[in-house]
A and B are shown apart, each in its own frame.
Chain A
């Protein structure tokens, strides 16, 4: 058990530091809202510089255009990069999930076409999975792809996707669609890549309760795609999507934002009814300690995951607890920080609120975090079923043709 870099890791870290010192940006775009609303050009330019220097897609195999580096290398770069005011990253979903899926299933020409521009940040990808009537139950997708009758082998896509992060500035996407409603739901799905600039693709940003618009609705109206855009076999879309989601799990990210440390400072600067700093109140101290312990637990669970990855092992189930802890932690901590301000807590004006309204922002984002990428409830099901081996729920839709599955409105 050793927290220090090995000599090889230390050498890599030094190399990264030297490069960042010479190349990293020194200030962040003032309009960057962390949801892709910032300066895309700045993000693209930073991505291109990383790619040129061999610091983009570090863990991807060389034949994809990556560096065949270790996950630890990638973490080291991430840690060092985070010391600089780098632009928010609109490439994460594409490079973390979509493009690896393309790389796993597409023909060589397609790989050559899409890999390098994606790595350089020239093209952005989005993931078109969720639908208005299939959120947690993502295999219940209803967006259809039907083969044309003209013998071209082309497909026509009609339907609607929702909660698509970054669709408003994406060039391409991977979309899961139903190609056979007569089969049970998991068996009638197929995956395609699509051109988001196609005239039949209509992207409409969703106005979130938090005020931002990082997510979108995406409507498909008679969008024609070639059969060569298919990723995996017809009817094998579910299996392909599992590869996508597996890559999501490997894209280890560190939690950031307003955490225990900011809370501690805020509690020191705020007084209670006795006129003393709230940080001296035992109720506040106990909560703060609990949050610190949770945040540290997640940090070290990630360290355990990284250790497994660096030894070439599959990460253990400890990697599954992250979001279910982090989302509620964020919500509770932000709410306590706001309540701590008493009447003043309602003010979220960045010029008046502590930390430019950072806690207020977290408070309003937290409900979304508890839902996106697997709700708290679905994640608990996943832990119970896949980690602990408990039985799955009774499924009324399992061996039924999809068109006969009961639906709500």
Chain B
């Protein structure tokens, strides 16, 4: 048994941190946050493509580096730590993974090289309104290869080149690949809790759409894709949660009250210890998820659910208690605490809320217990 990343993977992580510290300090995140017209950092996206990260897990024949998912995990953790304002998850964890999982040869050839080169940006369009995704929540339809309907919100929908759309075709749910440069697409950028990430309402009016995977397999395919994305998102969340704990610790050590650094007080120490415990639970679950993802193990649905639940909890707790530790200054726009508070909300909701994942996890466990 070896439950750790390899030396090469750790080296990649160190390199990724160094790169992001130079190219994605929070001042860069704030440029997106503070500019009402900006929803992402296109320059950073190009630089990230130049690092080869976008194609890290894409096979070499499609222009990628042909590495495993473990390499993506260490990159994800650093992107989360840096609160990077780029559509990495939508493109790499969702679009590329879905196409690799279920795409035809032609679809792979059409999408993957573009992802690796940084020219294709992906998005996943499942939501049509408030509430969880279900078999009855989808009204968008495909008829004669043309998609019509409305999706809201679509993370990175305002900047994506390609979107995966869950829609009905002949009464069955399918997942469809849509090129957003086609006529009949209307995009409207949305105001969201995390303005450092793009989100849009997409309206489709008879837009050409080709199915990914089999007819009627849409919901199952989305679940498979989300299981894979959940592991990688968990690493982003863990990275962010660790950064929030670091910020709280650093501040507690420098802030004095009643003649001592507030880090001396047990009310603060125990709060930070609780953050640490949640982060370690998240990290340990994420590692198991990483193993399941990388080996395509049958445990993946359970491991991914656990990773997502633990990481969502850790980042939420860490980001809110980081503000609390900072006191009044933490409630200002000028201090970075709210970047993590916002991103923790974005990451918790983007692939389905924790309560949905908890329900799914228990369903998996019920089946497993029944089989045992």
Contact = CB atoms under 8 A, between A and B. Distances in A.
B277 A321 contact: yes
A301 B288 contact: no
Interface stretch (A59-67, A212-220, A376-384): A376-384
A58 to B, nearest CB: 16
Interface residues of A, number: 55
Contacts of B365: 260-261, 264, 288, 292
A260 B362 CA distance: 10
A6 B6 CA distance: 16
B355 A286 contact: yes
Contacts of A260: 365
A261 B264 contact: no
B359 A1 contact: no
B280 A301 contact: yes
A3, A321, A385, A388, most chain B CB atoms within 10 A: A388
B324 interface: no
Contacts, number: 162
A409 to B, nearest CB: 24
Contacts of B100: none
A296 B1 CA distance: 17
B274 interface: yes
A80 interface: no
B164 to A, nearest CB: 27
A389 B361 CA distance: 36
A304 B3 contact: yes
Interface in B273-312: 273-274, 276-277, 280-285, 287-288, 290-291, 294, 305-306, 309-310
B252 to A, nearest CB: 7
B18 interface: no
A390 interface: yes
A175 to B, nearest CB: 31
A74 to B, nearest CB: 13
Given A293-B306, A296-B285, A321-B277, A5 B1 contact: yes
A308 B5 CA distance: 11
Contacts of B369: 261, 264-265
Contact of B291 (A2, A286, A293, A325): A2
B284 A325 contact: no
B270 A285 contact: no
Interface string A288-310: 11101110111111011011101
Contact of A383 (B1, B264, B273, B284): B273
A72 B1 contact: yes
Interface in B245-279: 245, 249, 252-253, 260-261, 263-264, 266, 268-270, 272-274, 276-277
B1 to A, nearest CB: 6
A288 B362 contact: yes
A382 to B, nearest CB: 8
B307 to A, nearest CB: 9
A192 to B, nearest CB: 34
Interface in B1-30: 1-6
Interface string B232-245: 00000000000001
A36 B80 CA distance: 49
Nearest to B311: A293
B163 interface: no
Contacts of A72: 1
Most B CB contacts (10 A, CB to CB) among A4, A300, A380 go to A300
Interface residues of B, number: 49
A115 to B, nearest CB: 30
A269 interface: no
Given A290-B309, A383-B276, A2 B2 contact: yes
A292 B361 contact: yes
Contact of B359 (A285, A293, A383, A384): A285
B273 A285 contact: no
Interface in A2-35: 2-6, 9
A258 to B, nearest CB: 14
B205 interface: no
A387 interface: yes
A297 B294 contact: no
Interface in A231-273: 260-261, 264-265, 268
Given A286-B359, A297-B281, A391-B253, 12 more contacts: A290-B358, A292-B306, A292-B362, A292-B365, A298-B281, A298-B284, A303-B284, A306-B1, A310-B2, A380-B273, A388-B249, A394-B264
Q: Which 4 A-B pairs have the closest CB atoms?
A: A297-B281, A289-B358, A384-B269, A300-B284
Interface of A: 1-6, 9, 72, 260-261, 264-265, 268, 279, 282, 285-286, 288-290, 292-294, 296-301, 303-304, 306-308, 310-311, 317-318, 321, 324-325, 377, 379-381, 383-385, 387-391, 393-394
26 contacts: A3-B291, A264-B369, A282-B355, A286-B355, A289-B305, A292-B365, A293-B285, A293-B309, A296-B288, A297-B281, A297-B284, A297-B306, A300-B3, A300-B287, A301-B281, A304-B3, A306-B3, A308-B4, A318-B283, A318-B284, A321-B276, A325-B277, A388-B249, A388-B273, A390-B272, A393-B264
